[in-house]
Amino acid sequence: MTMPSPTRIHDALTRVKTERDAVTAKRDAIDQFIDRVEDCSPAPNPASGTNVTATVGPVSQPSQGTTDTCQTVRQAFAETIRPHSLDDVDDSESLHETIQSELSQSIAVALAPTTEARFSPEVKQAVLSKSHVRRSATDNLRRALEREASELDDARDTVDEITEWMVTADETPLSQLGFDELRARHATLAAHRSRCEERTGHRQEFLDRATSHGETIDVSHCELVDYAYQDSPFDRPVLATLTRLAETCEECQRIVRQHLVRRV
């Protein structure tokens, strides 16, 4: 009898752990960016001739050194966050577009060399505030990935344990088992089948929930799984493996019952 392969879950676990490491690296990069922005001194607000944007505060013609400070912040972003923001660091997306994607359009404009914006206290605060939001969101994504890894670990242990038992049990032909041994085999298969069904229900409940922390945007587990396994031939590796294993247990039970009937 063909046993369901636990390889799907093992592959999924590898994917999730790789993604978790990438998210952790991005979180560290955001920390580095925040530290470098903190070290930048903002230009004092002028007494007059200031325009105010809705998000980043006063913007006016730059004083000496303020344009360099905006460039310093842009460079800090390019060296820390940007490599972790792109699937491919050689992507054609411009630095301005990446800043806009990660921090907001208004911050990207405020830091752009073409706008000649001052690195005012308001601009600095806006950059730091949005960076902290991004760090919280990244932390929440990492927590969601850790929960997914834990789910996969539990599912893998269940599948490995059951398949190993089935392989060992298959070494003894049913024709060599007595009536009581056949009944015990049938009962064990029923218990394994119940474990698979229980784990399947637990998995479905997990997918219906989300990971959140404080005011951070929720990370939908279903959407997380869709993202993590988007390049995999199986977008639901746990459910697919558990369902197939439960079906195999049921099929084995049917065969054992046939032998039991013959012994009556």
Q: What digits encode the pLDDT tens for the residues 145-173? A: 999 999 999 999 999 999 999 999 999 99
| Amino acid (1-letter code) at residue 229 | Y
Report the alpha-carbon distance of residue 136 to residue 216 in Å, rounded.
Answer: 6
Q: SS3 of 114, please?
A: coil
CB 229 within 8 A of CB 207: no
Structure-token pair, residue 92: 């054609």
Residue type present at position 161: E
Q: Is the pLDDT of residue 114 over 50?
A: yes
Percent of the chain beyond pLDDT 90? 68
What is the predicted pLDDT for the residue at 60?
45
Q: Which residues pair with 57 in a beta bridge?
A: 53
Measured torsion, CA atoms of residues 66, 72, 77, 80, in degrees rounded to the nearest 10: -150
Number of CB atoms found within 10 A of residue 125's CB? 14
Which has the higher per-residue pLDDT, 251 or 51? 251
Helix, strand, coil abundance in the chain, percent, nearest 5: 70, 5, 25
Interhelix angle 66-79/95-103, rounded to 10 degrees, is 80
Using CA atoms, how far apart are residues 220 and 211, in angstroms rounded to an integer?
A: 7
Cβ partners under 8 Å of residue 121, min gap 6: 42, 44, 45, 57
Extract the tokens encoding 39.
Answer: 């070290």
* Cα angle 216, 213, 156; round to 5: 120
Output the pLDDT for position 56.
53
pLDDT of residue 89 exceeding 70 = no
Instruction: Report CA-CA distances (Å) from 127 to 1, 135, 149, 214, 247.
Output: 61, 12, 33, 21, 54
Strands 210-211 and 219-220: antiparallel
At position 212, the amino acid (one-letter code) is: S
Q: How far apart are CA 50 and CA 118, in angstroms?
A: 10
Q: CA geometry: angle at 68 spanning 60 and 51, to 5°?
A: 10
Q: Which stretch of 12-21, 49-58, 200-209, 219-228 has the lowest confidence by average pLDDT?
A: 49-58
- pLDDT of res. 201: 95
Q: Which two tokens stand for residue 126?
A: 């806006």
What are the b/e assignments for 30-66, b being 16+ CB within 10 Å? Answer: beebbebbeebebbeeeeeeeeebebbbbbbebeeeb
Is the confidence at residue 73, as pLDDT, over 50?
yes
pLDDT of residue 51: 41
